[in-house]
Amino acid sequence: MGDNSQLIERFRSVAEKGDFAPLGELIMEVSTDDFVEQWPQSGERITKRNFMRLGEDYEGQTGTSPTFKFGSIRDGGDHIVVEGFIDYGNGTTAHYVGISDLSDGKVSKMTEYFAAPFEAPEWRKPYVE
């Protein structure tokens, strides 16, 4: 198990700026040749090369420049779990969980989940602190 603190900090500095192109460049640098990005909620699977292209096209295609706020980070050596919050800059926000798998110090797979905030139902109030 290695120390991934420098890798985590590099991702943090890029993600919090709201520019996806440098994120694609960082993935190109720190990922394995067979890197894959998975978004289970939409069923999308993105290869390393296409992740770079997606980053270059993101703002032009969506009209947004999301910013990311890191929350909890769990560094398990070969697995890093990040919880955070995304603000898309257009009134849309999402809670975020990302799981990165590492192989020989490089990112081999990222699986990311996005969930929009919602109001809790009234009936659950007696159970919530």
- Domain housing 115: 5-127
For helices 5-15 and 20-30, angle between their N-to-C axes, nearest 10 degrees: 160
pTM of the model: 0.86
Own/partner long-range contacts of 25-31 (Cβ < 8 Å, ≥24 apart): 25/52, 25/55, 27/51, 27/52, 27/55, 27/107, 28/52, 30/106, 30/107, 31/106, 31/107, 31/108
The predicted pLDDT at position 1 comes to 47
Total domain count, the chain: 1
pLDDT at 2: 61
Whether 64 contacts 93, CB under 8 Å: no
Local confidence band at 25 (pLDDT 50, 70, 90 cut-offs): confident
Q: 127 pLDDT band (50/70/90 cuts)?
A: very high
Domain with residue 16: its CATH number is 3.10.450.50
**Hey, which of 11-15, 22-26, 78-82 has the most confident mean pLDDT?**
78-82
